[in-house]
Amino acid sequence: MSERAIDSATNPQVSTAGATTPSAPATNAPQASEADAGGNRSIGRRQSDRIIAASESGQRSLDQATSCARSDGAVVIAGPAGSGRKHFARAIHAWSRRSAQPLIVFPAASTPEALQQRELFGAADGGATLGESSAGALASAGGGTLVVDRIDQLEAGVRSELIQAIQGGSFRRPGQAEPIATSARLIATVADAALAGVLGSLNADIVTLEGLDARREDVLPLAAHFLAEVAEDDDIRPIGFTNDARNWLVEEVFTGNVRELRERIRQSVRLSRDGVISAESLMLATDGDEVPSFKDAKRAFETRYVEGLLRRCSGNISRAARLAKKDRKDFYDVIRRTGVDPGEFRN
C-alpha cells in the first residue's frame, strides 16, 4: 500500500507515484510539491496541515473526505477519541469551495446544556452590541463551515433546532421574531460509528476513522511526520528513530490513538534534544509538560518495557527473558513488580 501525505490547507493530492490522484475542486490550486530522494512527495506548507495515510483504512478515510469536500452537504465524521476527527473536518473545509469562508468549531461535549442554545444560536438581548462570540457559532460561521464536535452530546432539542436551521436556511434566536438567514455547512463529529445517523433527515455523508490499532501501517509514517513537525516548531534538525524505537512504535498499543502518538513524539524530542529518538525516550514520554519523578519514570519504563517484550513474545516469559538478557526468575520478579499479566498477551 503506497503512502499518501495530504495537506489539509490545499487540495488533496497523492504523495507517492503509482496511486490514483483524486480530482480536486477547481477553485483551489494545490501548492507545489518537492520529491525526496526516495521519490515520495509531500504537498503543502506546514507539517501540521498534513494528513498521513499508509494503511488501507487510512486511505479509505481520505477517499471519503475528499469526496465530501467536492459536495456541499452535511457530513458526519465518526471515530474514537484521538483519531483525528477535527483534523479531518478542517481538511474537508479547506479542500471545499468554502475554504475562504469562516470555519467555526463548537465543542458540544464541553458546553453545559444550559448554555448550548445560546452559544450555538446567540442571544437576542444583545441587540446591536452583539460581538461575534455573542452572535452564536452558527451566525459566526456565515457562509463557511460549522463543525459541531461530539454532536451526540448536544441536547436533543438544540440538535433538532440546528438540523432544522441547516435544512431551512434560517433560524430564530430565543426571544427574537425575525429569522436569521444561514448558509453554513454542517460537519458533525461523533465517537462511535453507530451514531453516524445522528443528523437524521439531513442525510449526511459519512467519514469513518479507525483507531491506530486498526491502522498499524500508519504508525511509522505518522511518527516520522510528527518528528518533522516538532522539529520545525522547535527549530531543531531531526535525525530519526533508533531501530529499537521503531520496533517499540510498531508494537505499542496507543489507546489515545494519533493524539497520543503525537504527544509521545513531542515529549521524546524534548527528552533526547539531539534529534535521535530512542525507545527509552518514547517509553518515558508522558502527556503534557509535567516531568515525572525518577521513581515514577523508572516504574513507567519497566512497565512499558515488560509489556512490549511480552507482546512481542505472545506472553512467553522465557523467550521475553532471553530477549531482555535476564535470568527467567529475575525477569519474573520484574513482571510481578510491574503488575503486568503475561496472560493478556497470549494468543
Percent of the chain residues topping a pLDDT of 70: 78
What pLDDT sits at residue 178? Answer: 86
Whether 51 shows a pLDDT value over 80: the answer reads: yes
Top-confidence residue, 331 or 176: 331
Distances (CA, A) of 228 to 115, 222, 235, 267, 275: 40, 10, 10, 13, 10
pLDDT confidence band for 233 (50 / 70 / 90) = confident
Contact 41, 15 (CB under 8 A): yes
CB 346 within 8 A of CB 315: yes
Whether residue 19 has pLDDT greater than 80: no
Please, how many CA atoms are within 13 Å of residue 28, restricted to the half-sphere of its CB? 25
From the list 305, 266, 257, 306, the residue with the least C-alpha distance to 285 is 266
Secondary structure (DSSP) of 106-164: EETTTS-HHHHHHHHH--GGGGGG--TTTT-HHHHHTTSEEEEETGGGS-HHHHHHHHH
pLDDT in the model for residue 244 = 87
The residue to which cell 516520522 is assigned = 224
Least confident segment among 23-27, 89-93, 299-303: 23-27
Identify the bridge partners of residue 170 per DSSP, sorted by sequence position.
181
CA-CA distance, 5 to 47, in Å (whole number)? 10
Specify the amino acid at residue 178: E
CA 108/CA 272 separation, integer angstroms = 38
**Lowest-confidence range among 33-42, 311-320, 338-347?**
33-42
Where in the chain are all domains bearing CATH 1.10.8.60?
A: 214-345
DSSP 206-267: EEE---GGG-GGGHHHHHHHHHHHHHHHHT----EE-HHHHHHHHH---TTHHHHHHHHHHH
- Look at residue 145 in the predicted model and tell me its pLDDT: 96
- pLDDT tens per residue, range 169-206: 999 887 777 889 999 999 999 988 888 888 888 889 99
CA distance 200 to 90: 23
Rg (CA), the chain: 23
Find the mean pLDDT for residues 252-261: 86
In this structure, whether the domain defined by 4-210 belongs to CATH 3.40.50.300 is answered with yes
CATH number for 214-345: choose from 3.30.1360.40, 1.10.8.60, 2.60.120.1570, 3.90.1150.10.
Answer: 1.10.8.60
Question: How many alpha carbons fall within 13 Å on the CB side of residue 326?
Answer: 14
Q: What are the tens digits of pLDDT across the range 110-157?
A: 888 888 999 999 887 654 444 444 789 999 999 999 999 999 989 999
pLDDT of residue 35: 27
Higher pLDDT among residues 133 and 334, named by residue = 334
More confident call, 6 vs 152: 152
Residue with cell 488501507: 56
Residue with cell 504527544: 263
Across 338-345, average pLDDT: 78
Give yes or no for residue 305 having a pLDDT over 70: yes
pLDDT for 313 equals 87
pLDDT band at 49 (very low <50, low <70, confident <90, very high): low
Residues of the chain with CATH 3.40.50.300: 4-210
Q: Is 197 in a helix, a strand, or coil?
A: coil
Check residues 147 and 283 and name the one with the higher pLDDT: 147
**How much is the average pLDDT of 24-49?**
35
- Whether 2 has a pLDDT exceeding 80, the answer reads no
> 63: pLDDT confidence band, cut at 50, 70 and 90?
very high
